[in-house]
Structure 1
């Protein structure tokens, strides 16, 4: 099974002060909508998912609606795909990502490819979980707006096909 991890487009949240944790629920900017249109066109041609899992935050749901319309597949919104919350510890955030990955794999096992549309921090923690990295470490997987990662479970191995692909923005 393949899992596309996709960050939402540019949002008004991107312009908030340093140290902001992503729980503010603001919409996509005009540029963000354009980014999502380009990403959706690229995904629909190159890597169409059969199902989409999405964060419930507005910038992600807007991105999801555009992709879903492009690829014509069903969507399920999961509150646990939201960004790290102010009261949440780093360990709890990582454990939430592990639970998300396990649930998505279990509930998507009859699909060949699914997409998760979420936020930079969640995507990093899902990749941490996919790679089975230690709970405490100093690695960050950067994801640009509408950046795409492709993870694959194949037999007994895990493959990262690509990371933070933004060729659709060129």
Structure 2
């Protein structure tokens, strides 16, 4: 059996400043680090990871390193787990984007990219490649394998679509809150969504 524990990073500085993040490399806030600490405690009580792999962007990197420290495991960084390249929008306030880079009427199509960025098709392609490569690398293991993946909301949605072989033009999105956890399994050739966007660790009081 293969288990994929897919995690969105904790709260970042861009989240509270109302900025378009994407490839803008903002760190976690103090609250974000606290969220990651609580998550790491929750994970340690429930899982043993064979690998922790993360986006190298600061908000995901910090989250993954807090988990890795708690689990006494190294973190492997993979650029395929980075958030969507939002080009000229990266780091801008949402009001600036509305004023200077308004979406075309009807919104951008799935195949259209913002200036200097990537389209949703490009993002799906990265997710497909990452997931296929990961599953191929562990396909011959006979024992249960549990992988922790730390990434971003948009990329996690694309991993979800890839995992379930959803159509390229599907409008299904996956909610992912701060340090939200998704658990997916592959068992006897069956793909199972065990839970999504679990945040019960944030209810724990210090």
Bin for the TM-score computed over the shorter chain: over 0.9
TM-score, normalising length from structure 2?
0.78
Aligned position for 2:118: 88
SS at match of 1:22: coil
Query: 2:15: which partner in 1?
Result: 14
Is 1:121 aligned to 2:160, yes or no? no
SS at match of 2:147: strand
Aligned-residue RMSD, C-alpha = 1.3
Structure 2 unaligned segments of length 5 or more: list them. 87-116
- Distance, in Å, in 1 between the alignment partners of 2:127 and 2:175 is 16
CA contact (8 A) 1:50 1:114 kept: yes
d(CA) in 1 for partners of 2:6, 2:70: 17
The DSSP-based 3-state class of the residue aligned with 1:121 is helix
Structure 1 CA distance for aligned equivalents of residues 17 and 165 of structure 2: 32
Instruction: Quote the Cα distance in structure 2 between the aligned partners of 1:13 and 1:101.
Output: 28
1:85/1:60 Cα in 2 relative to 1: closer, same or farther (>3 Å)? Answer: same
Q: Which runs of 4+ in 1 moved over 6 A?
A: none
| Structure 1 residues without counterparts, runs of 5 or longer | none
Deviation per CA, 1:120-158, whole angstroms, max 9, x where unpaired? 001110000001100001111000010000011111110
Count of matched residue pairs:
169
CA contact (8 A) 1:152 1:161 kept: yes
Instruction: From the superposition, tell whether residues 21 and 94 of structure 1 become closer, same or farther in structure 2 (CA, over 3 Å).
Output: farther
CA contact (8 A) 2:14 2:21 kept: no
Distance in 1 of aligned mates of 2:26 and 2:163: 29
- CA distance, structure 1, for counterparts of residue 190 and residue 53 of structure 2: 23
Counterpart for residue 164 of structure 1 = 197
Whichever of the two has the greater Rg, that structure is 2
| Structure 1 equivalent of residue 75 of structure 2 | 75
Q: In the aligned structure 2, how far is the partner of 1:7 from the partner of 1:58?
A: 12
* Structure 1: distance between partners of 2:119 and 2:81: 16
Q: What residue is the counterpart of 2:114 in the other structure? A: none
SS of the aligned residue for 1:145 comes to coil
Distance 1:16 1:94, change over 3 A: farther
Please, what TM-score do these two structures have when normalized by structure 1?
Answer: 0.94
